[in-house]
Chains A and B, each alone.
Chain A
């Protein structure tokens, strides 16, 4: 009860309310503009959050996260281009429905589904996080090493494309995380006498370089910067009655649990959840031929699942300190900036912060519902913002943000170098999610490995003799075999003309990561 009061008073403080409102609107904007995403929004606002108290900072970043995932539906429905990878499947039925003059209905269904997905999944994560954290505090460095290792391997093997590319990206992230003072003994590594590197590669510089500068420049180089034409004339009200919406309850529940589970698995998240839920909805529908022509079920499946993935991704982040996706990796970065280590002790040491985070996600979900309902005619105008102005302003924010973190121009240079690194990674088809995960989890991986070896007499064998550690390592090793099985299965399916729905859909857009 006391905690509830703390959370409510933190959220309802006038200044925090303004910050949450601003964060949610900003998140919707970042989610709506094609090429940007919740991840870009959080990356860009990390430097702004460090001037705030840790509670206000997490309220701000949490509201951007929620707004960002929901915002993607606006462009997906109105211009047929997903604002974020989380909304790819929303295009399939949302856009045809809008083109058929039913924009209100498409947006209304999307907004309601987003709300249900976010709100209930956050409530579920509130129940599961303390249970998981309670168990996790009993884990030693052996289990934590195996957990981090397992998370990185899962991110690599469960994502699309060549497994070696994911592994390389993760290993590059780990090598970058080695720069600076080593854990345990404090030896200086790869600093080349540069004082600015003693504390490691600056997180803000790296995140802004990889997720903002490189993303914008890649979009511009591909020519994805044209301003679309949008018709907002027919938009008013939800366009669907609550009774009609609730008649799809079974689909809502199925899509919700698909999203929650996929979000929980490290590295997957909303980008895949919406495609799987859509494919499932189509496969189990009595009228599958209606899918793709503007049917309610397609939008419901996609938007419920991608938002349910939020709650799923938050569980390992809060309870174990393991990010479920790129956006939660950024949120962990945000906590680190405030000197707070995400992990099982977070719930013990900073319960007020954790519950404020849950609280703001619930509050932001309601706020998104209200804002998107009343702003149905206004938000589409975001898409009319000339991209050249928007990108120029964002790049200026990146430069100032990178400077603000360390108050040195070195960090701005580092950001640019990281932008070049991200561009080189794109040349070699390397995904960025494993890279950031390797960078965030690298120090945890090393310190737990070294602690584990120091604390035990049996050396590396202890990692195999402790049951939980062994299970996690077996999962990791076992999942390394998965891409080979998947490739062989896909090749067979393609040869027999039975390509899976998810494969067909993800080949329409380049859906690999957020």
Chain B
């Protein structure tokens, strides 16, 4: 068996399943009658135990071959950038609300995903304003959901 990413992944799954079992053992049943009910612990423990068996199965079957990487280095960089922008977007929405954060972060997402495409600032600005306004109108006025205003402006 080679220590490839699938083996590491399987080991991580076994650790995760172990944590689930430990946490499940601490669960308190609100009632445990004589009726034969297995209580709230048994199901997650059963699922986690099965997960351990399957992770071992995965390790034994996929550990024998070379593992193909999901993305190359550039791909992972892109994943990192996208999640960073999304986290920033959510943080901004929390602090300054929907309007400002969406106006700022939608063009940022476009720029991040532009590939070789040349972008015109005017188009970006129009896109940002239109997207923000349309979503605001749909959710605020049609779906009747008050979008976040931001903790700074409360």
Interface of B is mostly: helix
For chain A, residues 217 to 236, give those with C-beta under 8 angstroms from any C-beta of chain B: 217-218, 220-223, 225-227
For chain A, residues 420 to 461, give those with C-beta under 8 angstroms from any C-beta of chain B: 420, 423, 426-429, 445-446, 449-450, 453-454, 456-457, 459
For the complex, give the distance between the alpha carbons of A392 and B54 in Å: 38
Q: Is A242 an interface residue (CB 8 A)?
A: no
For the complex, give the distance between the alpha carbons of A180 and B117 in Å: 46
Q: Is A8 an interface residue (CB 8 A)?
A: no
- The one of A47, A175, A184 in contact with B37, judged by C-beta atoms closer than 8 angstroms, is A184
Smallest CB separation, B29 vs chain A (Å): 6
Interface residues on B, range: 35 or more
Smallest CB separation, A462 vs chain B (Å): 10
> Are B79 and A221 within 8 A (Cβ)?
yes
Q: In chain A, what residue has the closest Cβ to B134? A: A393
> Are B78 and A51 within 8 A (Cβ)?
no
> Are B115 and A225 within 8 A (Cβ)?
yes
- The one of A51, A165, A392, A416 in contact with B83, judged by C-beta atoms closer than 8 angstroms, is A416
Smallest CB separation, A417 vs chain B (Å): 11
> Are B35 and A454 within 8 A (Cβ)?
yes
> Are B58 and A165 within 8 A (Cβ)?
yes
> Are A404 and B145 within 8 A (Cβ)?
yes
For the complex, give the distance between the alpha carbons of A218 and B143 in Å: 30
Q: In chain A, what residue has the closest Cβ to B76? A: A221
* Contacting residues, chain B, for A407 (C-beta < 8 A): 145-146
> Are B28 and A187 within 8 A (Cβ)?
yes
> Are A178 and B43 within 8 A (Cβ)?
yes
- The one of A220, A399, A404 in contact with B90, judged by C-beta atoms closer than 8 angstroms, is A399
For the complex, give the distance between the alpha carbons of A396 and B110 in Å: 11
For the complex, give the distance between the alpha carbons of A227 and B115 in Å: 10
Q: Is B51 an interface residue (CB 8 A)?
A: yes
* Contacting residues, chain A, for B36 (C-beta < 8 A): 453-454, 456-457, 459
For the complex, give the distance between the alpha carbons of A221 and B71 in Å: 7
- The one of A162, A175, A217, A225 in contact with B51, judged by C-beta atoms closer than 8 angstroms, is A175
Q: Is A387 an interface residue (CB 8 A)?
A: yes
Smallest CB separation, B25 vs chain A (Å): 12
- The one of B40, B50, B83, B89 in contact with A419, judged by C-beta atoms closer than 8 angstroms, is B83
Chain B 84-105, CB within 8 Å of chain A: the 1/0 string? 0011011001100010001001
Q: Is A182 an interface residue (CB 8 A)?
A: yes
* Contacting residues, chain B, for A391 (C-beta < 8 A): 109, 113
Chain B 107-140, CB within 8 Å of chain A: the 1/0 string? 1011101110101000000010001100100110
* Contacting residues, chain A, for B110 (C-beta < 8 A): 388-389, 392
> Are B28 and A413 within 8 A (Cβ)?
no
Given A184-B37, A399-B89, A407-B145, A164:B115 Cβ within 8 A: no
Smallest CB separation, A469 vs chain B (Å): 16
- The one of A187, A213, A396 in contact with B131, judged by C-beta atoms closer than 8 angstroms, is A396
* Contacting residues, chain A, for B132 (C-beta < 8 A): 396
> Are A413 and B90 within 8 A (Cβ)?
yes
* Contacting residues, chain B, for A457 (C-beta < 8 A): 36
Q: Is A509 an interface residue (CB 8 A)?
A: no
> Are A168 and B139 within 8 A (Cβ)?
no
* Contacting residues, chain B, for A459 (C-beta < 8 A): 36
> Are B145 and A220 within 8 A (Cβ)?
no
> Are A51 and B143 within 8 A (Cβ)?
yes
> Are B109 and A395 within 8 A (Cβ)?
yes
For the complex, give the distance between the alpha carbons of A172 and B20 in Å: 11
* Contacting residues, chain A, for B58 (C-beta < 8 A): 162, 164-165, 168, 428
> Are B86 and A427 within 8 A (Cβ)?
no
Smallest CB separation, B83 vs chain A (Å): 7
For chain B, residues 10 to 59, give those with C-beta under 8 angstroms from any C-beta of chain A: 10, 13, 20, 23-24, 27-32, 35-40, 43-44, 47-48, 50-51, 54-55, 57-58
5 A–B contacts, CB within 8 A, in A order: A164-B57, A168-B55, A217-B83, A399-B93, A453-B38
- If A171-B47, A427-B70 are given as contacts, then 7 extra A-B residue pairs at C-beta distance below 8 Å, sorted by A number, are A167-B57, A185-B37, A386-B117, A388-B119, A409-B148, A412-B93, A457-B36
The interface of chain A, by Cβ under 8 A from chain B, is 47-48, 51, 162-165, 167-168, 171-172, 174-175, 178, 182, 184-187, 189-190, 213, 217-218, 220-223, 225-227, 386-389, 391-393, 395-397, 399-400, 403-404, 407, 409, 412-413, 416, 419-420, 423, 426-429, 445-446, 449-450, 453-454, 456-457, 459
